[in-house]
Amino acid sequence: MIRQWRSDAASLPLPEKFGLVLGDLLDRIESSALFSGESCSFSQKDLLDNLQLWADKARARLSSL
């Protein structure tokens, strides 16, 4: 899933900062998969909420093009 996100997002006409933020989120999501639930370093819920926020902002940016 992470590989697909990285691949698909790279083809979107978004500013570079979107790619940097997404890369960081996806790295943290991959790392959080090592834990079975919430930990002090990785809140899976917060990561998914932030991924949703990224997607909402990317969608808005793409709609304005």
pLDDT tens, N- to C-terminus, the chain (65 residues): 889 989 999 899 999 999 999 999 999 888 877 776 655 566 878 988 999 999 999 999 999 98
What is the reported pLDDT for 44?
Answer: 79
What is the reported pLDDT for 1?
Answer: 87
What is the reported pLDDT for 40?
Answer: 59
Alpha-carbon distance 23 to 5, whole Å? 9
What is the reported pLDDT for 14?
Answer: 96
- How many domains in the chain? 1
Alpha-carbon distance 26 to 50, whole Å? 10
For residue 59, give its domain range.
2-63
- In angstroms, the Cα distances linking 26 to 21, 43, 54, 63 are 9, 13, 11, 23
Alpha-carbon distance 3 to 29, whole Å? 12
